[in-house]
Each structure stands twice: as structure tokens, then as C-alpha cells.
Amino acid sequence: MEFSAEQIAGILHGEVVGDPNALVAGLAKIEEGQPGTLSFLSNPKYEEYIYTTNSSICIVNKTFTPNKPLPATLTLVKVEDAYSCFAKLLEVYSQMSKKQPKIETPSFISENAQIGEDLYLGAFAYIGENAKIGNNVSIYPNVYIGENVEIGNGCVIHPGASIYAECKIGNNCIIHAGVVIGADGFGFAPDQNGEYQKVPQIGNVILEDNVEVGSNSAIDRATMGSTIIRKGVKIDNLCQIAHNVEIGKNTAMAAQVGIAGSAKIGENVMIGGQAGISGHLNIADGTRIVAQSGIPSSVKKAATLMGSPGIPLEDYKKSYFGFRKLPFILTKLNELDKKLKELTKE
């Protein structure tokens, strides 16, 4: 699929500097650009590459002024914000390359399932009884949709994802390969013999609009009620969201985050990779949790936390500085102890 500089400028409301008929059919980092590719420059530290790039078109900020001659084969598209405009162009490209409506065979759709318009259903996909699928939904091969599941308009469910019975997915959600939504929460109770008895998990999972869930993540159904992922939440790969968790709007978490049961995460929270959050606690809106941190108790006021247990970032830095000097401090203490003993003898 080819785009001209003039077409790109039209989409982004930009200005062409160079050949408006220059064509691109692919994307590349500016330092790796080849003829026929599109790049962008927003970070000044990469400016040196624009003078040597082989890309055919580069999106730049309107404020950009070259300090050296640009390659003769390079056309610029000047916009207000090169980074956000490049992201917008990626979204346009993604929409254009979306699967066309089609139902492949073999696949299974229950007779009483409700299917919206313009469905793409990949081979070996399964849609269970009383499921409701919205308009313009793409369901890739080997996806399982359980009974009474509801999926909103414009959703994309990638290969091998499983959505268990009774779960509800909002509009424009993206669920990546291998995701499991609605598996049983980790509920077990020991009996008088110390043997674990399973506690039935009869709730569901609710994803509100514009949620994205990364590959091989798991969101468990509630014991009772719902595990709720609010509007705009972004979940990276390999994350674990336990039963009855609630995650507030526009919160984002990186890979391998684990959130234990019944924790309530506020809005606009950012959680770094491999962080762990204990169950039955509350995290305040706007909190930042640094990667590999452990949060064992509620956070009542927004802060940036680091360590295990997590403490304010500046306190952690001071503590870590002291920890690194600990061998030196111990050596000095031993020297002082020896001198004290010698003075005591004298």
C-alpha cells in the first residue's frame, strides 16, 4: 500500500517541503531508513540521522530548521507535533489493513448467538450460546467466545484468546493473542484436614470501552460480582489481574505486573514491569509504581513509589545510596571498635 507525500500531508494537515509525489510503502526508524520508507523526527538527539537517512519521506515539527544540507532524495512533511502525527498515521494504516468482513470455515457460531454487521471470523473460532457480537468486530482464528459473552463494536480479538462465559467487553477493545478473560479466580479454603476446597467463582469480568490487553495476560472472574477494568486501561503482556480487582480509568501497567484479589487501583496510575500489588488494598489516583516494586498496603495519596515495600522514590534513592556504602561503613565501624578496645585497655 503506497502513500504520497501529498496524501500524508493531507491526512496530517501538514506542509510538504520537497517532492509532493514522493512515494512510500513502508515505515522505518530514521537511522535505518531505506528508499520507499517513511520516518519521523521529534527528538533532537536523533537529528544527526536526518542528514544521512535514505528514507524517502520524513515527518518533522514545523519548528525544524536543517543545520546541514538534507539528502536530495528526502521530502519533508512539516506538522505541529511529529510524534503524535506519526502515531495518527500508524492508526490510519492499521485501520486500512484491518481484516475484511468474512466468516471462514471451519468455525462455529451458536444458532442463538447475535452477530453484528461486518464480522470477520477466523477459522476454528467458536462463538457460544446467547453471545452478542457488535458491529465491525474482528475475531481471529482459534478464539473461544463463551456463552452469554457480550462484545461491543469495533473490537479486535487476536488468535488463541479465550473469553469465558458471562464476560462483557466494551467498544473498541483490543485483546491480544493468548489472553484469558474470565478464568476462575484463585479461591480455595482449607478444611479441617488442611486440604484445599475450591470456592466456586460465579462472577464475571467487565472490560469497559477502549481497553487493550497484551498477549498472554489473564484477568480472572470475580468470586461474586465483577472484576472491572475501566475505560481506557492499557495492560501489557503477561500480566495477572486477580478476582474482584477494579482498575480505574486510563491506568497503564507494563509486563509481568501482578495484582492480587480485591485490590482497587485508581485512575491514571502507572505501574512498572514486574511490580506486585497485594490484595484488598486501594491505590490512589495518579500513583506511579516503579518496576519490580512491591506494594503491601494501601496508598492514600498519589506518590512515586519504589522498592519492596514501596516507599517514596526520593527516600528510596537515599536509602539505596546508604546501602551501597554499607561495606565501607562496616569497615569503618570495625576500625573504630578496635581503637575503642585499645583505648579501653590503656
Q: What is the pLDDT of residues 181-204, one digit of tens each?
A: 999 999 999 999 999 999 999 999
Identified catalytic residue from 13, 158, 176, 243: 243
Check whether 93 has a pLDDT greater than 80. no
Residue 243 among the catalytic residues: yes
Look at residues 249, 255, 216, 221 and name the one whose alpha carbon lies nearest to residue 233.
Answer: 249
Q: Is 251 exposed, middle or buried (0-12, 13-18, 19+ CB in 10 A)?
A: buried
Residue 139: beta bridge partners?
121, 157
Check whether 327 has a pLDDT greater than 80. yes
Per residue in 265-274, pLDDT (tens digit) is 999 999 999 9
**Domains in the chain: boundaries:** 3-96, 102-315
Per residue in 21-55, pLDDT (tens digit) is 999 998 899 999 999 999 999 999 999 999 999 99
Q: What integer pLDDT is reported at residue 235 of this predicted model?
A: 98
**What is the rounded distance in angstroms from the CA atom of residue 6 to the CA atom of residue 1?**
15
CATH number of 3-96: 3.40.1390.10
**What SS3 state is found at 97?**
coil
Q: In whole angstroms, how far apart are CA 290 and each of 142, 273, 274, 304, 310?
A: 36, 8, 9, 7, 9
Per residue in 146-173, pLDDT (tens digit) is 999 999 999 999 999 999 999 999 999 9
**102-315: what fold?**
UDP N-Acetylglucosamine Acyltransferase; domain 1 (2.160.10)
